Structure 1
Amino acid sequence: MSLLTLEEKKHEVKTWLKKTVIDPEVVHQTLGISIDHLSPELMLEASKKLIKINKLETEPDNRDDIRFNTFHGIEDFVQEHVEKDAGKVQARAKMKMQQKKDLSWLHAGFFSPQIRSIISGGAQLSQNIEGHNPIDNLDVSTKVTKLGPGGIPGIDAVPDESRQVNSSYFGFLDPFRISEAKTVGVDHRFAHNVVKGRDNKLYRLVLDHAKNPKWINHEEFLRSKVEIPEY
């Protein structure tokens, strides 16, 4: 077994670091540099900021800022379940193909459990709608929560600061339609003219300088000067 030389080790480390993926917008917001992968410069700047925070020389970033969030819907969870083979359905299919050498074993609904587990498998993000009131259907369709898989695991884990009013929500999350229960601060509703994009960012319809309608994401919105119209 041949051992790597020092230069080869350095090359392997640099290659691995370049393969990592991070959000350049978040890095620019927190550290003031634009980079989309791990690097010695990034780790040095992050270390400097942590030291300053520990010495009370600077304030920590607001972790509930909307720019630090990504938004996911059922289409994202379906894709994730299929790509990561939830329940090992695809692995079982591959094994059966190797054994049978044909598709005689394949029946209707063989892959349905991957989809059913999202909708009716007891997932925290699924919600039944009685449908007696059309307004209730609209209300649930605009709901967004920080709880569940990929987010905060439970109510007891919600920090107090996450329940406070956050200025970065302006224009994207409804400040009036909020939960009055234990989920206050973590359950929200989208504001009017707000949609989720395919890049998992929120988009809002605004008017540009020429009064033409334009969709911009929440990062561009929060970087821009916005005028509130008078009605």
Structure 2
Amino acid sequence: MTRGRLADRDAVAFGFSALCACIGVLIWTLWVLPVAASVSDADPVPLGRGATVELQEGERVGIWGSGVSAMLGTLECSVSGPDGAELSQRAGPSLSWDDTLWWMTPKRGFEQHTQFTAVRAGVHTVTCADSLDTYDGEFLVAGDAFGSGAIGLGRTGGNDFAVGTLLAFGAVFCLPVAVVLPVVILVRRRVTRRRSTRDAERAHASWTQFPEP
């Protein structure tokens, strides 16, 4: 009975490991690597100047900042669409790319500041400056690492977690679990097998030394 339960638990654990591997590969393929590539391809612009970017309707991008202004939180940006109307921006989730995948940012020191979504297709103008007009820095427009919306988790699905938080967590959690969990199971099985063999040998030795009458 115990062996059966252990086998069932191992099967579930191996299945969970395979699921983590699939999720991790998808996150890295569809999110981490494309965002990193977009940051690498983007050209930094000094604060006080404007940067133009061609976007499709509904396309979401991020504004990344670097320097003293971004570090102190005095970086302010504005975005205008093709019609000249100013677009709203959105800050990042509590757990973001900068907390977990900062080492994957190709341009050192850049962190995503905000995100915005193109309402209309066309050329968008992004302008960033230091709100105190004191500190310098740079910014660039690249892929969005914040994501949009939230997913309800928990027993009743009442706990909402931002998509960006789940992606950031999954990127650093899924693949290590997919590797470590099978190793732990195999080590535990080997230890259990050796212990069972040793106990059987002891029982056999005891029976040989003190046979039943």
- TM-score, normalised via structure 2 length: 0.22
- TM-score, normalised via structure 1 length: 0.21
Bigger helix share = 2
> Rg larger in 1 or in 2?
2
Bigger strand share = 2
